[in-house]
Chains A and B, each alone.
Chain A
């Protein structure tokens, strides 16, 4: 199975030192357990991701892209040429120029299926089983066919230990440079300095006991617990449930009314 791990230049959240983002290190661990994995980095300097060679990768492909240029076209072209079965990326950037939008932009450009927040991957190369984190420890198992792009959630297994000797032996290969003419995409997001804000809890009871407010805040009394959970239901039964739900929320007309 051919696996590509997208690598970005990150920064340590406390020291600000240049480091490989933790979620990408976790992605490498997932990839290394599945098969031969290659790192792919687009940026001005591959030294920023050399650390990945000590964390489980043996080879990194580097596309030279000047600072401020959009790396997505170059990455998309390279990925199209490599035709991997699985592309792994972090779910968000870590202090570097990567904002977390690249995996989505790539999935769109390559018309790939994107599965976010993955904590474990098994199977392959045809059918992959991915465990997706739904937050608060809840997991969803997804089985997909064909090439897929997945972003890794922090709940995935911790990164492997850095091995200096392996980092020394790993190779970085310059595979191309982005054409300078690439248009810098217009800023689709507005940037503002971070400001702490009080966390609003939707539908939180203004009164009630502390336990009730906690329940509301942690979502245990929310909509997630109101529905019915059917595990591998009979198709007929599942269809009935879906229809009943759609009618209940007013998407479909009530069966008894339409019969009149």
Chain B
């Protein structure tokens, strides 16, 4: 060895060779992203914020699994430190300084410990949510590189040569070059693509501490609407799917997966990854429930959706758009955007909505209500209640947006409670009455962007006629559409969910509820309030104000499980082995609470529809009204 070239040059040279190999492998993969559509990316801003995004936002998610967090700190930190330190030793003054090699050996030693932590997750038996395949080789590559590196660095530190040096170096080379090779198809891709994804993220707003959850409006004049094939996604979305590390946190969180409907978010993202490249190794994680294994065509121009394609249409329509997968994804992948983009193509270009959803979407387009009911009947629930209408008043401090739930007899009870509370507090409010159309939420989640935009334009025109300060609504889906999605259509309003508004009234002393300590309540967070709008505290504060004994479900707040009522899933009605609301009510039953408090018409309908439940379903407004009446 020394006869050809000194070890102090060969060892750093190995790291440089690894870097070069990783770069080549990375560029080979990156060439595929170029088929994607253009996307605006703030490169400098993203690069500057990369450390913060990684150390704060990504860490926040990864740390929910403390083991994974520590494992990454040790193995990734060690790997980076050891490799960089070794690479620097290409400079002769450093290479000749023996104590330096002790530091390098220490870094490699830390990496070796981390490698064992990586291995412990997979051997002797793999954690269920993790994927096998190439990921099973990863611990061996890491151990080889780390142990080989430690040994080489120690030999250099002590100045020992001989037969051990080539052996140690060979071990390090096998592991290190193997890791670099894996940047294209294997586990190490998540490190390279993940870092780039954090820089070029399609939703940079989510790193700024605000929920960036509004679907991006679709240009209805575009030559092709929605995504049919990988090339229809923007390049940074393709990049984001490559960041997927197959950790399976999304499939644990997914309500459709839990219900045995044919959706597994991890498999979906991996299908988007594999659809892009025929060379991608086979998927080695849990399949879509139902055991479908169709492979379909691959390539940038291959159709992704179809009965014989990679992704079955039922997979798309199973999604409740609850964003639980997005919330859990440590790689910050936007699964719901992918689902909606694929749905848009199905609906707008192919008219391939699921059979049961055709009726509601058609009625929404033709009559402004998914049930085809007269708009004037929306206020029928309030028969006998004095309900001021905007058209007669011209304006009011608060515009009460009723939403689709108003047609439902059960939910009418919640709205009547809310109206009585508003009256009690002396709030100046009015409703749109027959002028209120559906916000178009259902159409938009089902991919019918044209109907959503038409309804949004009509609603914005109606709202422009009246004076009001704020819109209050009891429907988180309407809240999300009006607050987050109408601005892109030209309508900007100040929104408050009824739970937040009622809390304001209590704090301002306008409502004086008595305490109801005999009630045991657990609160079910609506996805569109908690995850889409980040509001988890106000409903709990209202419950605390009325002094109920409150317990939390295992999954609550931003990590709560969906009731199954979002994203058009109830109208698509894709069969599964279980029902999502049944699962959720079983979780609620674990708390032993007698009342499940809700704050959304969809949740009310879904959870109250569960058979054999023992808990009562009560809206926050109903509970507050009970407390206010008890306080009189």
Listed in ascending order, the chain A residues whose CB lies under 8 Å from chain B are 12, 14-15, 17, 19, 54-56, 158-166
Contact = CB atoms under 8 A, between A and B. Distances in A.
Nearest to B220: A164
A12 B350 contact: no
Contacts of B286: none
Nearest to A163: B351
B225 A164 contact: yes
A165 B223 CA distance: 9
B347 interface: yes
Contacts of B448: 164
Given A12-B367, A54-B351, 16 more contacts: A12-B366, A17-B367, A158-B355, A160-B351, A161-B357, A161-B361, A162-B361, A162-B362, A163-B347, A163-B349, A164-B225, A164-B348, A164-B449, A164-B451, A165-B224, A166-B351
A161 B366 contact: no
Contact of B349 (A17, A55, A56, A165): A165
Contacts of B450: 164
Given A158-B359, A161-B352, A164-B220, A14 B347 contact: no
A14 B367 contact: yes
A38 B587 CA distance: 55
Contacts of B358: 158-161
A77 to B, nearest CB: 32
Contacts of B225: 164-165
Interface in B268-310: none
B35 interface: no
Interface stretch (B248-256, B371-379, B559-567): B371-379
B367 A161 contact: no
Interface of B: 220, 224-225, 347-353, 355, 357-359, 361-362, 365-368, 372-375, 448-451
Most buried by A among B362, B373, B374: B362
A55 B366 CA distance: 14
Query: Which 6 A-B pairs have CB atoms at the shortest separation, nearest pair first?
Result: A163-B351, A15-B367, A165-B349, A164-B450, A161-B351, A161-B353
Contacts of B353: 161
Most buried by A among B348, B361, B368, B451: B348
Given A162-B362, A162-B365, A164-B220, A15 B375 contact: yes
Contacts of B375: 15
A54 to B, nearest CB: 7
24 contacts: A12-B367, A12-B372, A14-B367, A15-B367, A15-B374, A15-B375, A17-B367, A158-B355, A158-B358, A160-B351, A161-B352, A161-B362, A162-B351, A162-B361, A162-B365, A164-B220, A164-B225, A164-B347, A164-B348, A164-B449, A164-B450, A165-B225, A165-B350, A166-B351
A55 B373 CA distance: 22
Contacts of B359: 158
Contacts of A166: 349, 351
Contacts of B352: 161
Nearest to B361: A161
A15 B455 CA distance: 14
B351 A15 contact: no
Contacts of A54: 351
A159 B355 CA distance: 10
A163 B348 contact: yes
Contacts of B451: 164
Contacts of A55: 351
B373 to A, nearest CB: 7
Nearest to B446: A161
Given A158-B358, A164-B450, A165-B225, A14 B349 contact: no
B268 to A, nearest CB: 23
Contacts of A158: 355, 358-359
Most buried by A among B348, B355, B358, B366: B366
A56 B375 CA distance: 29
Nearest to A165: B349
A260 B595 CA distance: 90
A160 to B, nearest CB: 6
A161 B360 CA distance: 10
B333 to A, nearest CB: 27
Contacts of B368: 15
Given A19-B366, A161-B362, A162-B362, A14 B351 contact: no
B328 to A, nearest CB: 32
B451 to A, nearest CB: 8
A56 B352 CA distance: 12
